[in-house]
């Protein structure tokens, strides 16, 4: 990067970071006249109302609540406290909103407005006490055309002072009193003895001379200088966009979290967390997703939910997966260690967003509870004999040749012929066949989407171990989902995953049907069968594309071998097909 581009990148971070709103953000949700509440809140200076549209209820509520400082939850007096009321109270509390206003509408349509308001307030406070936020609840009446004074004064309509004044508590949290946290968004090329980065102070304060720790790497450094777009600063606090220069030879990366050395954040790769699932497709345990925390995005795998949480009564219900709009407690594992704080201690560094690994769309949000003991007590054991040593001993370049395609497409036939050719030429191989593996390692798995995800996760880990042993591994699995094949590719090293799409049309695969499985599936005797009542997602850019209607298995093997040679996986000649 030249000096002009570098300066522009730093300035961009400082300017956009400096635009962070200093007004209190108030999310408006629930049942009632949201437009009227919005008009009233807009009268108060220092408040930025965020109205949740009915058409995108939960997704919009979660997105707004992640950054909101307070919530106005509308309740219709004629219906009272309903499921949505409890759900909105719970989600706002879960995502870190400490202050909630319960605005009661429709009081003009009930016989005893005072009694109705008192009952709603009592019920909401009782539920909120279970959430641990009873002291931060304010209950006010709100007429469709005008607002009423606070309940403590009178439930009669007035000029809108109740809701407007209740918003007075909605002040941006005093995050400057929390320990110093700073996400690195831009890094200048390091010079000997110093490193410079830019970003926005998430919480706390920092000044020149402070000692900090850069996580997750653990680099300890002294702050040489603090500056903003206006120049040098004696001190910076939460919300300010700044440039930090550190006295260190360590290398900084975008997404690093710079923290106080005396009160540092935690580091881990396995966590207990709470997840709000937003996608129409359910959360599949074992399926890889992307996790965004601060400016950093890492791979993450979610285990089977420990339980699902019912928002109305907080009951913990047994669950194998999470469906759209459900909340659950889960264990997760990230691909690499990350720095974090428990969400209850710091919402700026304890919340995350889940993304689909293929499409990149948001599928859920979550809050981190704590790192599991294994994060701190299970470490990778360094060994003297490496993959390189094992590979050189065998005289080959290890890799995984991953055959994917419909049942009956010819995967196993081609993989079997290829392994025979490789072994005859003196190569060390192993063939993992989908049917064979289900007799042992994966005998406990069925054919639901969730079981298929776990099936591929296990095979991927076995393949990685075999590659580490220096083997050429052939994997012949239907592996119907792109996300799982992408996970397998990401798990292995650069250039070690070679995807082979054995492309056979469904009609041809059904015509062959060597095991009679398609016939059983069509008759309804075999559920979750790929291509019939379970989807197959064909590769979009495989390294090798075999079209079985145009190529014989022997020709397919020659194509694979030619590709392996071209990629430097095979360096000697091979015997002709026999």
Residues 448 and 341 in one domain: no
Q: What is the pLDDT of residue 399?
A: 96
Catalytic residue (choose from 375, 409, 463, 479): 479
Domain span including residue 521: 387-566
Average pLDDT over residues 32-41: 76
Q: What is the pLDDT of residue 538?
A: 94
In a domain, 530, yes or no: yes
Whether 123 has a pLDDT exceeding 70, the answer reads yes
In a domain, 576, yes or no: no
Residues 505 and 536 in one domain: yes
Confidence band of 430 (pLDDT split at 50, 70, 90): very high
Whether 551 has a pLDDT exceeding 50, the answer reads yes
Paired residues of 499 in beta bridges: 402
In a domain, 573, yes or no: no
394 Cβ contact partners less than 8 Å away, ≥ 6 residues apart: 427, 428, 470, 471
- The alpha carbon of 433 is separated from its chain's Cα centroid by a whole number of angstroms, namely 31
Residues 33 and 10 in one domain: no
The domain tally of the chain equals 4
Going by DSSP bridges, is the β-strand pair 257-260/181-187 parallel, antiparallel, or unpaired? Answer: antiparallel
Q: Which residue has the higher pLDDT, 112 or 192?
A: 112
Residues 510 and 395 in one domain: yes
Instruction: Note the pTM of the prediction, 2 decimals.
Output: 0.69
Q: What is the pLDDT of residue 483?
A: 85
In a domain, 209, yes or no: yes
Q: What is the pLDDT of residue 373?
A: 66
Paired residues of 71 in beta bridges: 27, 100
Average pLDDT over residues 529-535: 89
Whether 65 has a pLDDT exceeding 80, the answer reads yes
Where a domain ends, among 260, 282, 303? 260
In a domain, 527, yes or no: yes
Residues 529 and 442 in one domain: yes
Residue/partner pairs of 531-540 with CB below 8 Å, 24 or more apart = 531/406, 531/407, 531/506, 534/447, 534/449, 534/452, 534/480, 535/480, 535/481, 536/406, 536/478, 536/480, 537/480, 537/481, 537/482, 538/501, 538/503, 539/404, 539/482, 539/485, 539/499, 539/501, 540/482
Residues 12 and 132 in one domain: no
**Measured between alpha carbons, how far apart are the two ends of the chain, in Å?**
56
Residues 9 and 90 in one domain: no
The Cα–Cα gap between 501 and 499 comes to 6
Whether 460 has a pLDDT exceeding 90, the answer reads yes
Q: What interhelical angle do 83-94 and 113-131 show, nearest 10?
A: 40
Residues 414 and 518 in one domain: yes
Q: What is the pLDDT of residue 377?
A: 59
Where a domain ends, among 320, 352, 376? 376
The CATH number linked to 38 is 3.40.50.300
Beta strands per DSSP E along 33-166:
47-51, 70-76, 99-105, 137-141
Confidence band of 155 (pLDDT split at 50, 70, 90): very low
Q: Which residue has the higher pLDDT, 490 or 135?
A: 490
The CATH number linked to 8 is 2.40.30.10
The Cα–Cα gap between 228 and 442 comes to 57
375 is catalytic: no
Q: What is the pLDDT of residue 395?
A: 87
Residues 30 and 142 in one domain: yes
Whether 550 has a pLDDT exceeding 50, the answer reads yes
Q: Quick check: 563 and 497 in contact, CB under 8 A? A: no
Provide the sign of the torsion angle of the four alpha carbons 195, 196, 201, 205, taken in this order.
positive
In a domain, 239, yes or no: yes
DSSP state string for 156-169: SB-SSHHHHHHGGG
The Cα–Cα gap between 466 and 461 comes to 9
Residues 474 and 552 in one domain: yes
Where a domain ends, among 206, 239, 260? 260
In a domain, 133, yes or no: yes
The Cα–Cα gap between 36 and 206 comes to 42
Which range among 179-193, 407-421, 525-539 has the greatest average pLDDT?
407-421
Residues 544 and 412 in one domain: yes
In a domain, 572, yes or no: no
Residues 213 and 350 in one domain: no
- Three-state DSSP class for residue 289: strand
- The alpha carbon of 387 is separated from its chain's Cα centroid by a whole number of angstroms, namely 31
Q: What's the per-residue H, E or C state across 408-426?
A: CCCHHHHHHHHHHHHHHCC
Q: Could you give the residue ranges of the DSSP H alpha helices within 203-354?
A: none
5 Cβ contact partners less than 8 Å away, ≥ 6 residues apart: none
Q: Which residue has the higher pLDDT, 61 or 465?
A: 465
Using a 10 angstrom Cβ sphere, with 0-12 exposed, 13-18 middle and 19 or more buried, the burial of residue 60 is middle
Q: Which residue has the higher pLDDT, 490 or 413?
A: 413
């Amino acid at each position: 990067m030249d000096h002009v581009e570098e300066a522009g990148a730093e300035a961009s971070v400082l300017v956009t970071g400096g635009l962070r709103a200093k007004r209190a953000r108030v999310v408006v949700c629930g049942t009632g006249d949201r437009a009227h509440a919005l008009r009233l809140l807009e009268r108060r200076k220092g408040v930025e109302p965020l109205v949740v549209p009915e058409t995108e209820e939960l997704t919009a509520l979660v997105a707004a609540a992640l950054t909101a400082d307070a919530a106005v939850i509308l309740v219709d007096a004629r219906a009272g406290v309903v499921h949505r009321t409890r759900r909105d109270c719970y989600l706002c509390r879960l995502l870190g909103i400490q202050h909630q206003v319960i605005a009661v509408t429709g009081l003009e349509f009930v016989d005893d407005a005072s009694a109705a308001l008192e009952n709603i307030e009592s019920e909401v406070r009782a539920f909120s006490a279970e959430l641990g936020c009873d002291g931060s609840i304010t209950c006010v009446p709100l007429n469709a055309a005008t607002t009423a004074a606070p309940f403590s004064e009178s439930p009669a309509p007035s000029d809108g002072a109740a809701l407007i004044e209740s918003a007075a508590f909605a002040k941006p949290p005093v995050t400057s009193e929390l320990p110093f946290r700073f996400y690195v968004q831009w890094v200048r090329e390091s010079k000997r003895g110093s490193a410079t980065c830019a970003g926005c102070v998430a919480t706390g304060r920092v000044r020149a001379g402070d000692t900090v720790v850069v996580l997750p790497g653990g680099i300890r450094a002294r702050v040489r200088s603090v500056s903003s777009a206006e120049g040098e600063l004696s001190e910076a606090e939460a919300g300010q966009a700044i440039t930090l220069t550190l006295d260190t030879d360590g290398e900084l990366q975008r997404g690093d979290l710079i923290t106080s050395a005396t009160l540092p954040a935690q580091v881990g790769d396995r966590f207990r967390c709470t997840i709000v699932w937003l996608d129409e497709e359910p959360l599949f345990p074992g399926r890889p997703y992307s996790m965004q925390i601060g400016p950093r995005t890492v791979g993450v795998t979610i285990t089977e939910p420990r339980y699902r949480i019912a928002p109305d009564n907080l009951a913990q219900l047994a669950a194998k997966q999470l469906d759209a709009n459900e909340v659950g407690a889960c264990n997760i594992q990230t691909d690499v260690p990350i720095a974090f704080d428990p969400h209850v201690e710091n919402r700026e560094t304890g919340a995350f967003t889940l993304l689909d690994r293929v499409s990149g769309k948001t599928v859920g949000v979550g809050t981190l509870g704590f790192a599991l003991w294994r994060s701190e007590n299970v470490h990778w054991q360094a060994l003297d004999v490496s993959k390189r040593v094992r590979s050189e001993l065998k005289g080959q370049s290890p890799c995984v040749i991953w055959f994917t395609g419909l049942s009956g497409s010819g995967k196993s036939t081609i993989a079997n012929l290829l392994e025979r050719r490789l072994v005859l030429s003196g190569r060390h191989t192993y063939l993992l066949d989908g049917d064979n593996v289900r007799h042992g390692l994966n005998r406990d798995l069925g054919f639901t989407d969730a079981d298929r995800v776990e099936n591929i996760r296990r095979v991927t880990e076995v393949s990685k171990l075999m590659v580490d042993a220096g083997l050429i591994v052939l994997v012949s699995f239907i592996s119907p989902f792109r996300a799982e094949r992408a996970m397998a590719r990401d798990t292995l090293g650069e250039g070690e995953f070679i995807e082979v799409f054995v492309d056979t049309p469904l009609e041809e695969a059904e015509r062959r049907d060597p095991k009679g499985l398609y016939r059983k599936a069509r008759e309804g005797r075999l559920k979750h069968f790929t291509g019939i009542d379970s989807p197959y997602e064909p590769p979009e850019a495989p390294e090798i594309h075999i079209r079985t209607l145009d190529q014989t298995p022997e020709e397919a093997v020659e194509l694979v071998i030619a590709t392996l040679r071209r990629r430097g996986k095979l360096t000697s000649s091979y015997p002709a097909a026999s």
